[in-house]
Amino acid sequence: MSDPINSVVILGGGTAGWITAGTLAARFNREQEEPVRVTLVESPNVPTIGVGEGTWPTMRSTLKKMGVRETEFIRECNVGFKQGAKFARWTTGADDEFYYHPLVQPEGFHNHNLATHWLGGNTSESFSNAVCPQEALCEHNRAPKQIGTPEYAAVANYAYHLDAGKFAGFLQRHCTENLDVRHILADVTGIEESETGDIAALRTEAHGKVSGDLFVDCSGFGSRLLGGHYKVPFRSCKDVLFIDSALAVQVPYEREDSPIATHTISTAQNAGWVWDIGLQSRRGVGHVFSSAHTSDSAAYGELARYLKVSEGELDRLGVRKIPIVPGHREKFWHRNCVAIGLSAGFLEPLEASALVLVEISANMLAEQFPASRAAMDVVARRFNETFLYRWDRIIDFLKLHYVLTKRTDSRFWIDNCDPATIPDSLQELLTLWRYQPPWHDDFDRAVEVFPAASYQYVLYGMGFETQPAVHGVSRASLEQAGQLFQQKCKATQQMLEGLETHRDLINKICRHGLQKI
């Protein structure tokens, strides 16, 4: 074998770096007699961003594959369960208006499209309530599982809310103690290239040269290797997604036993939206907005009003301002360097796409890991194709939340609906969906980030109109749909009876733990 890839060097010790390290090392240790060596280099002086507190359900398999105990993760990372997102005031801006994007798919979704029947049914029930139990679980603050449910198994599909700072530390301990990942704390002072133009080593002050065969850039917004060293250009998408600023704050609960919301609450504002995430001991709240459409001080005021506190009280909580440059690199893998995490790009916190991209990037890297340098360029080309597709789909999906608004009360919402800001690919889907509801075949399922169900929840949650089936609906299909709607009602009732409150389950897990089986 020529030029085997024997060692991977990861630059950056935030969540992206440690998720990548854990995913790679767990796979190498499981499958290889002489596992590829994984080293993570972290500067002791670069603070991690530490925002990004929502995940997708994929995080369950990501952690399980790494050999993490869910009980320990929940105890140590201030974790709450997330059963989707509640979008308030996105459609009309009215105070009491909301819709859900739950994580449970519509009943029978693998082979039956209930959207057709809901559209034809003239029901006043919300789409998500009609087709799945999860909106009811969220509104009643129920946990998505029982204390007797094994780790990572669900009664209702779930993801997590977590403390990103604690999460990075937790993964670091797991990777270094259980997965044999080498951890080097040192400032990188330079990058050494080989004759071929590949990166040969990172020069560090404290540890000399750290050489490797493949380098993963998890250095955050700085994009030290891919952007800084290789100058791979950045592709902005600010013309589509306007959010470019965030004000983030940690808010204590009123009481120690206050309910913990079991979904992300996203509330639309004048020129952006507020995220509200419930952890065990505090909430993480932030206002993201377009600086072209509002000022910092107006955004600050809106955040204070959302939290029902005075601006003075908000000052005391300590608000951090984080700039956002929405977009991504033109490619993610160049020569022997692949970027994962913020170094590859970032859009905005909507729909928690940041961590899921890290997970699926690390996963693809682990699964298609090049055995030799000669194979690397082929894998790199595939990786780039797949992830360019994925970024485009995520951009479309995020933009979808803005273009369906009926709000005309501010330039932000009006400008978002300007056709010039809507990608052609999204425009095409919107045309299609005027005549037929989203279905699996609309997407390449193998590489899709968001399933067709997600598009349905957003479209019909925001009152998008798809014309009823032109050729009508057969009797058999109607009967089957009737059964599915009934199944959903029964499941909802059983879950409401059998599931305890989110806080109660979290307390039990902290006290007793979940079993592995």
Partner 1 sequence: MSNTVALNNESHRNLKVMTKRGAAFGELTHLVPVVANELRNLVLEYPVCITKDPKNGQFSLCALLGFEPGENLFLHGDNWDAQYVPMHIRRQPFMVGYRNPEAGPGEDKGAVITLDMDSPRVNRDGSSADGMRLFDDEGSNTPFMNEVSDLLGQLMGGMESTTAFLKFLADNDLIEPAHINVQFASGEQKRYEGLYTVNDEKLQQLEADKLVYMHQHGYLQAAYWLSASMGQVRKLIQRKNQL
Rounded distance, CA 124 to CA 358, Å? 39
Contact partners, residue 205, CB within 8 Å, separation at least 6: 186, 187, 189
Instruction: Tell the smallest beta-carbon distance from residue 252 to partner 1 (Å).
Output: 27
In order of 52, 73, 159, 276, 319, the CA distances from 156 in angstroms are: 23, 19, 10, 21, 34
CB-side neighbour CA atoms (13 Å) of 236: 8
Write the interaction track for partner 1 spanning residues 140-159; mark x where CB under 8 A is met and - where it is not: ------xxxx----------
Instruction: Tell the smallest beta-carbon distance from residue 145 to partner 1 (Å).
Output: 10
Q: Is 66 in the site for partner 1 (CB under 8 A)?
A: no
Q: Is 507 in the site for partner 1 (CB under 8 A)?
A: no
In order of 20, 221, 330, the CA distances from 234 in angstroms are: 22, 11, 6
Q: Which of residues 331-390 bind partner 1 (CB under 8 A)?
A: none
Q: Which of residues 92-151 bind partner 1 (CB under 8 A)?
A: 146-149
The interface region with partner 1, picked from 24-32, 267-275, 363-371, 507-515 by CB under 8 A, is: 507-515
Q: Is 516 in the site for partner 1 (CB under 8 A)?
A: yes
Q: Of the listed 64, 82, 166, 508, which one is catalytic?
A: 82
Rounded distance, CA 219 to CA 343, Å? 6
- For partner 1, give the closer residue by CB, 148 or 318: 148
- For partner 1, give the closer residue by CB, 476 or 517: 517
CB-side neighbour CA atoms (13 Å) of 301: 7
Write the interaction track for partner 1 spanning residues 437-476; mark x where CB under 8 A is met and - where it is not: ----------------------------------------
Q: Kindly state the number of chain residues that form the binding site for partner 1, as judged by CB under 8 A.
A: 12
Q: Is 173 in the site for partner 1 (CB under 8 A)?
A: no
Instruction: Tell the smallest beta-carbon distance from residue 55 to partner 1 (Å).
Output: 23
Rounded distance, CA 274 to CA 276, Å? 7
- For partner 1, give the closer residue by CB, 101 or 145: 145
- For partner 1, give the closer residue by CB, 149 or 410: 149
Rounded distance, CA 478 to CA 117, Å? 8
Burial 127-146 (b: 16+ CB within 10 A, else e): bbbbbbbbbbbbeebbbbbe
Give catalytic status of residue 82 as yes or no. Answer: yes
How crowded is residue 75: how many other Cβ atoms within 10 Å of its Cβ? 17
Judged by phi (left if over 0) then psi (alpha if -120 to 50, else beta), residue 84 lies in left
Instruction: Tell the smallest beta-carbon distance from residue 148 to partner 1 (Å).
Output: 4
Instruction: Tell the smallest beta-carbon distance from residue 512 to partner 1 (Å).
Output: 4
- For partner 1, give the closer residue by CB, 330 or 500: 500
Dig out the tokens for 52 from the structure.
Answer: 């990004």
Rounded distance, CA 98 to CA 86, Å? 7
- For partner 1, give the closer residue by CB, 149 or 211: 149
Q: Is 316 in the site for partner 1 (CB under 8 A)?
A: no
Q: Is 511 in the site for partner 1 (CB under 8 A)?
A: yes
Instruction: Tell the smallest beta-carbon distance from residue 400 to partner 1 (Å).
Output: 40
Rounded distance, CA 442 to CA 454, Å? 12
Q: In what order do the strands lie in the sheet with 337-339?
A: 182-185, 37-42, 7-11, 214-217, 337-339, 333-334
- For partner 1, give the closer residue by CB, 400 or 506: 506
- For partner 1, give the closer residue by CB, 425 or 515: 515
Instruction: Tell the smallest beta-carbon distance from residue 74 to partner 1 (Å).
Output: 13
Q: Which residues pair with 191 in a beta bridge?
A: 202
Rounded distance, CA 463 to CA 405, Å? 9
Write the interaction track for partner 1 spanning residues 17-36; mark x where CB under 8 A is met and - where it is not: --------------------
Q: Is 514 in the site for partner 1 (CB under 8 A)?
A: yes
Q: Which helix (H) or strand (E) holds 363?
A: helix 353-367
- For partner 1, give the closer residue by CB, 446 or 517: 517
Q: Is 517 in the site for partner 1 (CB under 8 A)?
A: yes
Q: Is 68 in the site for partner 1 (CB under 8 A)?
A: no
Instruction: Tell the smallest beta-carbon distance from residue 147 to partner 1 (Å).
Output: 4
| DSSP count for the chain of H helices, then E strands | 16, 21
The interface region with partner 1, picked from 134-142, 169-177, 308-316, 508-516 by CB under 8 A, is: 508-516
Three-state secondary-structure class, residue 102: strand
Instruction: Tell the smallest beta-carbon distance from residue 163 to partner 1 (Å).
Output: 24
Instruction: Tell the smallest beta-carbon distance from residue 81 to partner 1 (Å).
Output: 15
Q: Is 75 in the site for partner 1 (CB under 8 A)?
A: no
Q: Is 434 in the site for partner 1 (CB under 8 A)?
A: no
The interface region with partner 1, picked from 9-17, 383-391, 431-439, 504-512 by CB under 8 A, is: 504-512
- For partner 1, give the closer residue by CB, 59 or 509: 509
**Please, is 301 exposed, middle or buried when counting C-beta atoms within 10 Å of its C-beta (0-12, 13-18, 19+)?**
middle
Going through 222-302 in order, the beta strands assigned E by DSSP cover 234-236, 245-252, 264-268, 272-278, 282-289
Contact partners, residue 477, CB within 8 Å, separation at least 6: 117
Kindly report the CA angle at 115 between 114 and 117, in degrees rounded to 5? 65
Q: Is 515 in the site for partner 1 (CB under 8 A)?
A: yes
What one-letter code names the amino acid at 496?
Answer: L
Any idea which residues carry the catalytic annotation? 82
Contact residues toward partner 1 (CB under 8 A) are 146-149, 508, 511-517
